[in-house]
Amino acid sequence: MRKKIVAGNWKMNLDLEEGKELVRSLIQEDLSAEVECILIPSFVHLSEVSKLTEQTTLKLGSQNNHAVNGGAYTGEVSAKMLQSVGVSYGLVGHSERRIYQKEDAETLSAKVQQLLKNGINPIFCCGESLSERKNSQHFETVEKQLQLLWELEPKEFEQVIIAYEPVWAIGTGETATAEQAQEMHAFIRAQLQKNFGTLAAQCSILYGGSCKPGNAAELFAQEDVDGGLIGGASLKAKDFAAIVNAF
Ligand code: PEP
């Protein structure tokens, strides 16, 4: 059985008090025990959110980590540091970082390795731009983005979660249809199968891109959609809880 997962990426939102308030509100919500819920706040929030969620089933994720484990890299945060504050999942390859920070496959591969070395499960994001979708290059793009995972050992791959996030659907209010999501998730699983055989069936593939309470149930009902990576709607406890409970 694949894990059902809903992860909330807070991005660069909420100050410390607002973040703590959101966690307190979420703890009051009745969240399905079948779903692994992951909170992915900014670095600033991590240790406080870690304390608040200690006695709960909520898990902690990071939005980024550096490609090396420590040293003279002013302003950076290593996977080792993240592990020390209770992070168990780490986003890698989010389109905002690919676009604004120009993160390439080599960097992303090193980041994945750092997470794995520190016992953190990478949530590897992939997804095509609007022009790639319009030119029917979406499968080719995603296939290329996934390639850096093929160098992993099967034992390492078992720790990886994939998030398919079409760039044109992130923060735009425009969601992929359930059919578009299923089509790409099935394609991704077929690529995983080619490279890791039966392990592909165990890998959770999340959908991300304007997922909200009103469309989550239809998306999550698709055979190869194992949950969601949620941006905007993760900032409101009621909305996030409704998405978690949409399975
Ligand atoms: C995201 O950034 O991962 C995301 C899915 O954002 P939104 O839900 O706001 O589209």
For residue 154, how far is its CA from the centre of ligand 1 (angstroms)? 29
First to last CA, the chain: 15
Rounded Cα–Cα distance for residues 75 and 62 (Å): 15
Q: Whole-structure pTM over 0.85, yes or no?
A: yes
pLDDT digits (tens, 9 = 90+) for 191-215: 999 999 999 999 999 999 999 999 9
Structure tokens, 114: 């750092």
**Residue 174 pLDDT level (bands cut at 50, 70, 90):** confident
Q: Is the pLDDT confidence value at 1 over 90?
A: no
pLDDT for the residue numbered 68: 97
Closest listed residue to residue 224, CA positions, set 42, 28, 6, 4 = 4
Rounded Cα–Cα distance for residues 162 and 91 (Å): 10
pLDDT digits (tens, 9 = 90+) for 108-128: 999 999 999 999 999 999 999
Could you give the C-alpha distances from 67 to 77, 91, 121, 197, in angstroms and in order?
A: 9, 13, 15, 28
Mean pLDDT of all residues in the chain? Answer: 97
Class of domain 4-244: alpha beta
Biggest CA-to-CA distance, the chain? 49
φ and ψ at 59, to 5 degrees? -110, 160
Taking the domains of the chain in order of start, what are their residue ranges?
4-244
Q: Is the pLDDT confidence value at 189 over 90?
A: yes
Torsion sign over Cα 209, 178, 27, 49? negative
The total number of residues shown for the chain amounts to 247
For residue 212, how far is its CA from the centre of ligand 1 (angstroms)? 10
DSSP 161: E
pLDDT for the residue numbered 45: 98
Pocket of ligand 1 (CB under 6 A): 9, 165, 170-171, 208-211, 229-233
